[in-house]
């Protein structure tokens, strides 16, 4: 095949247009590993890239897609051979490097993760960056010593991509998982995913002057930031930790040092984009093995043609769970 299909974003004046186009391989950058992409997934960051957000993508025309999984077509790097099944997420993929919304990507070998046994390329993209990030949060909390018998663990933004996978993973590992959500329609499926109870979003979003709140959480996965994360940290039990990965509720924190110096709590920062390869591979191995969860009930499978409408939906907060993209 000489040409390949890609969901392309073009800039015309100040307007960004989106649609599926046939591209030639010469449009791909000079990197050693060429992958035939079978699946990708839609993340909030992709929607930003597809709508011209300069903090994500500076050069257009562009193919978004921070997630890709498929088969190696050719590799000038001895670590990979044609036919190898691989996952490529994060780094610059889909930002200023053509991403997973195209049938081909060409990337540095350092970005490529061999598909762990136990996962199909489809499973890998049901998880995608959201699943990897949820896994990194869990790994950080477990490394800090969190155990199911310690008590309830809260997940904020629970109906989102990262939040829903975090709920499923924690429940799978036997944690009493509290799902904090502002989406009423998600209550039933979050419980089916394993949440022991639902906390209304407002409960943790209310600003509080108090430096400490009742210590009720043994751990936390926070995708919201802002006042919510501040309240979560103030509500941690002694020596507990919160893994912070998102900012849908805002980037600011209103905290004093008291939770840290009186209760010995920890705030663990999670960054999936530049996560070192050994940690990245370890978490993917766990997601394929002991942490394997069934996410079929929260997966919406779409094609490249459906992306245009889905991008508007994710920007408007009208998506729940994970959006899987079948590419080729």
Residue choice 73, 247, 279, 302 for contact with ligand NDP (CB under 6 A): 247
Closest residue to bound ligand NDP by CB:
160
CB of 42 to ligand NDP, least distance (A): 9
Stretch that binds ligand NDP, among 81-89, 141-149, 175-183, 207-215 (CB under 6 A): 175-183
Which residue has tokens 């990262």? 162
Stretch that binds ligand NDP, among 26-34, 73-81, 155-163, 280-288 (CB under 6 A): 155-163
Q: Which contacts (CB < 8 Å, 24+ apart) does range 259-265 have?
A: 259/211, 259/212, 259/233, 259/234, 262/212, 263/212, 263/215, 263/236, 263/237, 263/238, 263/239, 264/238, 264/239, 265/233, 265/236, 265/237, 265/238, 265/239, 265/240, 265/241
Both tokens of 95, joined, read 């930002």
Candidates 12-20, 242-250, 282-290, 305-313; binding stretch for ligand NDP (CB under 6 A): 242-250
The residue (of 181 and 231) whose beta carbon lies closer to ligand NDP is: 181
Q: Is 181 in the site for ligand NDP (CB under 6 A)?
A: yes
**Residue number with CB closer to ligand NDP (104 or 201):** 201
Map residues 196-215 to x or -, x wherever contact with ligand NDP holds by CB under 6 A.
-----x--------------
Stretch that binds ligand NDP, among 1-9, 76-84, 169-177, 245-253 (CB under 6 A): 245-253
Q: With contacts defined by CB under 6 A, how many residues of the chain interact with ligand NDP?
A: 29
Smaller CB separation from ligand NDP, 183 or 256: 183
Please tell me whether residue 284 binds ligand NDP under the rule CB under 6 A: no
Q: Give the one residue of 4, 7, 39, 44 binding ligand NDP; rule: CB under 6 A.
A: 44
State which residue, 65 or 249, has the beta carbon closest to ligand NDP.
Answer: 249
CB of 114 to ligand NDP, least distance (A): 21
Structural contact between residues 157 and 163, judged by C-beta atoms closer than 8 angstroms: yes
User: 205 or 236: whose CB is closer to ligand NDP?
Assistant: 205
Q: Residues 143, 202, 252, 271: which binds ligand NDP (CB under 6 A)?
A: 271
The residues that touch ligand NDP, with contacts defined as CB under 6 A, are: 43-44, 129-130, 133, 157-163, 181-183, 186, 201, 223-224, 245-249, 270-273, 317
């Amino acid at each position: 095949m000489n040409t390949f299909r890609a969901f392309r974003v073009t800039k015309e004046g100040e307007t960004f247009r989106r649609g599926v186009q046939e591209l030639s391989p010469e449009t791909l950058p000079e990197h050693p590993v060429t992958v035939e992409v079978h699946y990708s997934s839609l993340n909030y960051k992709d929607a930003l890239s597809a709508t011209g957000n300069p903090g994500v993508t500076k050069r257009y025309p562009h193919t978004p897609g921070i997630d890709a999984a498929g088969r190696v077509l050719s590799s000038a790097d001895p670590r990979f051979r044609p036919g190898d099944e691989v996952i490529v997420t994060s780094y610059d993929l889909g930002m200023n490097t053509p991403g997973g919304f195209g049938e081909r990507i060409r990337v540095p070998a350092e970005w490529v993760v061999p598909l762990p046994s136990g996962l199909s390329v489809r499973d890998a993209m049901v998880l995608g960056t959201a699943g990897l990030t949820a896994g990194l949060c869990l790994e950080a909390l477990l490394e800090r010593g969190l155990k199911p018998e310690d008590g309830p663990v809260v997940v904020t933004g629970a109906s989102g991509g990262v939040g829903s996978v975090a709920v499923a993973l924690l429940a799978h590992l036997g944690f009493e998982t509290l799902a904090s959500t502002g989406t009423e329609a998600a209550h039933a499926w979050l419980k089916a995913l394993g949440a022991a109870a639902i906390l209304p979003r407002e409960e943790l979003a209310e600003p509080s002057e108090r430096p400490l709140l009742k210590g009720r959480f043994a751990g936390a996965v926070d995708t919201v930031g802002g006042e919510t994360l501040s309240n979560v940290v103030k509500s941690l039990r002694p020596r507990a930790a919160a893994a912070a990965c998102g900012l849908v509720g805002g980037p600011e924190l209103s905290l004093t040092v008291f939770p840290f110096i009186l209760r010995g709590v920890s705030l663990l920062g999670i960054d999936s984009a530049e996560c070192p390869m050994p940690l990245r591979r370890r978490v993917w191995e766990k997601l394929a093995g002991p942490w394997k969860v069934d996410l079929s009930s929260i997966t919406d499978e779409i094609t490249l043609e459906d992306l245009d409408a889905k991008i508007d939906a994710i920007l408007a907060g009208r998506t729940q769970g994970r959006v899987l993209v079948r590419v080729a």
